[in-house]
Amino acid sequence: MNAIIEMTDVRKTYASGSLEVEALRGVSLRIAQGEYVAVVGPSGSGKSTLMHIIGCLDVPTSGDYVLAGGRVTELAETHLAEIRNRRIGFVFQQFNLLASMTALRNVELPLAYAGVPVAERRRRAEESLARVGLSDRLTHRPGELSGGQQQRVAVARALVTDPALILADEPTGNLDSTASADVLALFDELHAMGRTILLITHEAEVARRATRSVLIRDGQLVAS
């Protein structure tokens, strides 16, 4: 099966004055199209750095990274921004919704940045919100929604560009157990539909919902 993610000997070093900190130490990872993979690790393990590189929010110091068949390791920031907008759907712990905008407008945003015409982006945003069970919440602002509903809006926003990869960073971190179960069930449904999902978490119980888990410790993958 085609690979969505192919990382080979990826390293990331941060400099702080005369001190260098090696956050990633030779990470190699392959995720095939349609896989549901969890990256698990404690605080300071390097999982956030790995997520930033996979999400094209940062670049490796060395090594190679290919996303959906395209080498992204040495691309300029403008090209990385385009990849983030079109090829990756992000779901964050903090939801990252704009409080002044309705659910519909929040979901439309990636399409607006991509220059999609107003009527088309409205149609796609409505379809995406329907897919996560929020057709009756189109005009609600984040403050009028529960935490679980806000995260569903965030998932709808991640889906609206039809990305190659859904990248979820601690998506249940701010949710109670009931809302967490609802969001994880939604990821199960998306995986069953053939979506490629990479879940970053420190919770073993959350990671068990994925079909494969990868453990990162001290900047290295120790199991996959």
- Give residue 43's Cα distance to chain centre: 18
Cα 73 from Cα 118, distance rounded (Å): 33
128 lies in a domain?
A: yes
208 lies in a domain?
A: yes
Please list the alpha-helical segments (H only) found in 55-146: 77-86, 103-113, 118-131
The secondary element (H helix, E strand) that includes residue 155 is: helix 147-159
Whole-angstrom CA distances from 60 to 51, 100, 169 are 11, 35, 19
Residue 17 confidence (pLDDT): 80
Residue 73 confidence (pLDDT): 85
24 lies in a domain?
A: no
Are the C-beta atoms of residues 49 and 65 closer than 8 Å to each other?
A: no
> How many structural domains is the chain composed of?
1
176 lies in a domain?
A: yes
What is the pLDDT tens value at each position of the chain, 224 positions in all? 799 999 999 999 998 788 888 999 999 999 999 999 999 998 889 999 999 999 999 999 999 999 999 999 888 888 999 899 989 999 998 999 999 999 999 999 999 998 999 999 999 999 999 999 999 999 999 999 999 999 999 999 999 999 999 999 999 988 999 999 999 999 999 999 999 999 999 988 999 999 999 999 999 998 65
What DSSP string runs through 189-220? HHHHTT--EEEEES-HHHHTTSSEEEEEETTE
User: Model confidence over 143-161: pLDDT tens digits?
Assistant: 999 999 999 999 999 999 9
Q: Which CATH number goes with the domain that contains 209? A: 3.40.50.300
Give the domain range for residue 129: 35-59+80-213
68 lies in a domain?
A: no
Residue 142 makes CB contacts below 8 A (sequence gap 6+) with 95, 97, 98, 99, 103, 106, 150, 153
135 lies in a domain?
A: yes
219 lies in a domain?
A: no
Cα 88 from Cα 123, distance rounded (Å): 20
Buried b (16+ CB within 10 A) or exposed e, 197-214: bbbbbeeeebbebbeebb
11 lies in a domain?
A: no
